[in-house]
Amino acid sequence: HNIQFGVWYEQRTNRGYDLNPRSLWTIARQQANSNIIGVDTTKIVGDTMIFGFPIPIYGKLTIEQEDLLFYQRVRELTGTPLDEYVNVDGLDPSTLSLDLFSAKELTNQNILDYWGYDYLGNPIDVSFDDFFTATDANGIRTFPVAANRPIYGAAYIQDRFQLKDIIIRVGVRVDRYDANTKVLKDPYALYEIMSAKDFHDQYGGERPETIGDDFSVYVESEGSTKVKAYRDGDTWYFANGTQANDGKFIFGGGLVFPKYTVEDPNIQSRDFDPGISFKDYEPQVNIMPRLAFSFPISDDANFFAHYDVLVQRPPSNTLATPLDYFYFLTKSDPRNNPNLKPERTVDYEVGFQQKLNQNSAIKLAAYYKELRDMIQVRQYLYVAAPINSYQTYDNLDFGTVKGFTFQYDLRRTGNITFLASYTLQFADGTGSDANSNRSRANQGVQRVLYPLNFDERHRINVSMDYRYGSGKEYNGPRVAGMDIFANAGLNLQAFMVSGRPYTAAVLPNVLDGDGVKGAINGARLPWTLTMNLRIDKDFILREGGNGKSDMVANVYFRISNLLNRKNIINVYPFTGSPADDGYLASSRGQDSIESTTFSPEATASYLASYQWAMLNPDNYALPRRMYIGAVFSF
């Protein structure tokens, strides 16, 4: 037995601060005199004569504005009374500082985002709920945002043992992921919706038998107690308890009115209780068994197989702070979702290896992977006004990767080592990345499989290494009795890959295309061929001895993309070309040019500039690159 085990604990602290300083002047101009709202007809500060009649001059009417600070601080700075105007553009910029503003003045204009800091950029240690309650000495809200501190823990145990000719490796890993923050109780509502049990206990009425205690209740109109619909997760029900295929069959295009547990909730009010909207993230515990075994099926052949379950923490789109919820109505889509679960991969592989002679063997393997709970954009419809709908991320995507690999391995024979493999692969799924379905999110959850962006139907890899030994093992040329190529070698790698899929377009557009021609990812890029070369030689700088190893310098010269091929990795979807989007030659492009009022010179300049823009270097893999370097070991 060879037993291994281990534990892992990790807590990250992520802080961020993002400010658009150019907008500070705009906000300063807007806020400097925002406390002056008109004239105070009860306050006469003087008079003037007009056509011989005395006309009173009234003082300015001012108000005190809650959670706003700049109009006060700038007057303290300049010594200006509250009822006199301040010219911000006449101030010396060196006398201004960020603390002249309140947190609300900066965040309300969407020029500031922060977490783990206060609004002035000072590191802080606060809780999620402190955002809604914290104030300064003057009672002005400071909106502190807690740092993002996800917690990850794992434990594993593994054993490798042999039963007669069977080599078995078995183990299990347990992962625990905790976002360590608060999440929305219900993604369909910013505030808690009353359950069916509580609603009927309070307002009476008969609850249909198909409606569970915890179903959410929707009413006919604001303030109504007449049931319009029920909802259980993503499943909608009519008021009579009949399940609806979709919420549109209940609400049509009208507004929805959830029955909240509190009257007139407002997340921006001072007395808001975050407990009516948020709950703690539920830690996710995943058990991942692993099994691998191999055994000989003859003197020269070996069978092997393995089964793995792999879980990955949500890689992105998990950071959502109280600031995001406070301004939920004005935030842009898609919004991050801290309630994401880990992504899961189930991997199977079987194969066998056959020895051809003492120096070479072939290996054949078939594999199958299931990608589950992959992150994808989704749209929540039938949300209470004024939100109505919004986009966020969820664990929706599913994919499969299946393939076959053939490999030939030639161990060191003389001076040469050779390895070649061919892989046939099919990668299909409902989404290639977290944003691949964004344009179709309003069509509901996608369940149609199509080739994923990373699907490579054919891949051929070849690696050849030619190397000389040293001393008695040297069999290369000699010059003046010296083994000039001792410990030197050449390594050549070649990769030939069939084109990855892309979605062809029906119509050309500016540097893009419109519509879908055929199926999603139904077109293919051209094949690519990449060759890399490395020449290196070891130089012994110091002989070892007395238990010390030699000091060796490996000097190398490496060339990437040896043939300098223009491998195409992106194309314009209408033409399938990496250099022409087809727009200028199309009727749409011609009509656009003819409708302009540019001079002939300006039109020619525009056309030339457009040609430059189309020649996007990102449509090609990197060109030939050469490197010289050394690696020292001792």
C-beta separation of 394 from 340 below 8 A: yes
| Cα-only R_g, the chain | 34
Q: What is the pTM of this model?
A: 0.85
C-beta separation of 466 from 488 below 8 A: no
Amino acid occupying residue 63: I
Tokens linked to 632 = 């020292």
Express each pLDDT in 106-160 by its tens digit.
999 889 999 999 999 999 999 999 999 999 998 999 999 999 999 999 999 999 9
Amino acid occupying residue 93: P
Question: Which pLDDT belongs to residue 546?
Answer: 74
Task: Confirm whether 567 is domain-assigned.
Answer: yes
Residue 196: which residues within 8 A CB-CB, separation 6 or more? 207, 211, 212, 213, 214, 215, 216, 217, 230
Residue 143, phi-psi category: left (phi > 0), alpha (psi -120 to 50), beta (remainder):
left
Residue 532: which residues within 8 A CB-CB, separation 6 or more? 492, 493, 494, 558, 559, 560, 561, 562
- Domain co-membership, 276 together with 369: no
| Residue ending a domain, choose from 265, 280, 295 | 280
CA distance 425 to 403: 4
Express each pLDDT in 255-265 by its tens digit.
999 999 999 99
- Domain co-membership, 463 together with 556: yes
Amino acid occupying residue 82: L
Task: Confirm whether 302 is domain-assigned.
Answer: no
Q: Which of 112-116, 478-482, 512-516 has the highest mean pLDDT?
A: 112-116
C-beta separation of 522 from 504 below 8 A: yes
Tokens linked to 363 = 């290996």
Give the model's confidence band at 592: pLDDT under 50 very low, under 70 low, under 90 confident, else very high: confident
- Domain co-membership, 373 together with 274: no
Helix crossing, 600-614 with 587-594: angle to 10°?
Answer: 140
Task: Confirm whether 187 is domain-assigned.
Answer: yes
Instruction: Give the domain extent around 37.
Output: 21-110
Instruction: Provide the CB-side half-sphere exposure for 382 (13 A, CA).
Output: 22
Please list the residues that pair with 290 across neighbouring strands: 171, 308
Amino acid occupying residue 118: D
Maximum distance among all Cα pairs of the chain, rounded to whole angstroms = 123
Task: Confirm whether 83 is domain-assigned.
Answer: yes
Give the model's confidence band at 445: pLDDT under 50 very low, under 70 low, under 90 confident, else very high: low
Question: Which pLDDT belongs to residue 310?
Answer: 95
C-beta separation of 554 from 575 below 8 A: no
Degrees (nearest 5) of the Cα angle 220, 223, 224?
40
Task: Confirm whether 218 is domain-assigned.
Answer: yes
Residue 206: which residues within 8 A CB-CB, separation 6 or more? 200
- Domain co-membership, 269 together with 385: no
Express each pLDDT in 206-247 by its tens digit.
999 999 999 999 999 998 999 999 999 999 999 999 999 999
Express each pLDDT in 361-398 by its tens digit.
999 999 999 999 999 999 999 999 889 999 999 999 99
Backbone torsions φ then ψ of 432, nearest 5 degrees:
-85, -30
CA distance 121 to 131: 15
Express each pLDDT in 399-425 by its tens digit.
999 999 999 999 999 899 999 999 999
| Residue ending a domain, choose from 280, 300, 319 | 280
Count of beta carbons in the 10 Å neighbourhood of residue 180: 19
Pick from 215-229, 369-383, 526-540, 547-561: least confident = 547-561
User: What percentage of the chain reaches a pLDDT higher than 90?
Assistant: 77
Residue 501 burial class via C-beta count within 10 angstroms: exposed 0-12, middle 13-18, buried 19 and up: buried
Question: Which pLDDT belongs to residue 308?
Answer: 96
- Domain co-membership, 504 together with 618: yes
Express each pLDDT in 6-41 by its tens digit.
999 999 999 999 999 999 999 999 999 999 888 888
Nearest to 195 by CA among 180, 183, 182, 207: 207
Express each pLDDT in 179-208 by its tens digit.
999 999 999 999 999 999 999 999 999 999
- Domain co-membership, 101 together with 201: no
C-beta separation of 236 from 230 below 8 A: yes
- Domain co-membership, 490 together with 623: yes
Tokens linked to 102 = 């309140």
- Domain co-membership, 491 together with 604: yes
DSSP 3-state percent helix, strand, coil across the chain (nearest 5) = 15, 45, 40
Task: Confirm whether 305 is domain-assigned.
Answer: no
Express each pLDDT in 427-439 by its tens digit.
999 988 888 887 7
Pick from 52-61, 308-317, 595-604: least confident = 595-604
Nearest to 362 by CA among 307, 405, 414, 413: 405
Cα-based distances in Å from 472 to 476, 483, 563? 11, 11, 36
Backbone torsions φ then ψ of 479, nearest 5 degrees:
-125, 120
- Domain co-membership, 457 together with 548: yes
Tokens linked to 141 = 């809200």
Torsion angle in degrees (nearest 10) through CA of 438, 440, 446, 448: -110
CA distance 520 to 439: 12
CA distance 19 to 464: 53
Task: Confirm whether 100 is domain-assigned.
Answer: yes
CA distance 374 to 446: 12
Question: Which pLDDT belongs to residue 593?
Answer: 83
Q: What is the mean pLDDT of the chain?
A: 92
Query: What are the DSSP E strand ranges found in 67-165?
Result: 112-115, 151-163
Tokens linked to 180 = 């360590």
Structural domain total, the chain = 3
C-beta separation of 361 from 409 below 8 A: yes
Q: Three-state secondary structure along 437-491? A: CHHHHHHCCCCCCEECCCCCCEEEEEEEEEECCCHHHCCCCEECCEECCCCEEEE
Is the pLDDT higher at 447 or at 45? Answer: 45
Mean pLDDT of 532-555: 87
Express each pLDDT in 48-85 by its tens digit.
888 888 888 888 888 888 889 999 999 999 999 998 89
CA distance 129 to 322: 8
| Residue ending a domain, choose from 110, 136, 164 | 110
Count of beta carbons in the 10 Å neighbourhood of residue 229: 23
Give the model's confidence band at 283: pLDDT under 50 very low, under 70 low, under 90 confident, else very high: very high
- Domain co-membership, 257 together with 391: no
Tokens linked to 225 = 């107690």
C-beta separation of 575 from 558 below 8 A: no
Tokens linked to 136 = 């300064």
- Domain co-membership, 261 together with 405: no
Residue 54 burial class via C-beta count within 10 angstroms: exposed 0-12, middle 13-18, buried 19 and up: exposed
Question: Which pLDDT belongs to residue 333?
Answer: 87
Nearest to 436 by CA among 503, 523, 376, 524: 376
Nearest to 120 by CA among 135, 93, 98, 96: 98
C-beta separation of 172 from 152 below 8 A: no
Amino acid occupying residue 285: V
C-beta separation of 329 from 388 below 8 A: no
Tokens linked to 143 = 């909106």
Question: Which pLDDT belongs to residue 601?
Answer: 85
- Domain co-membership, 266 together with 384: no
Tokens linked to 532 = 């890399």
Residue 437 burial class via C-beta count within 10 angstroms: exposed 0-12, middle 13-18, buried 19 and up: buried
CA distance 219 to 416: 78
Task: Confirm whether 96 is domain-assigned.
Answer: yes
Question: Which pLDDT belongs to residue 634?
Answer: 84
pLDDT value at 446 more than 70: no
Mean pLDDT of 614-619: 94
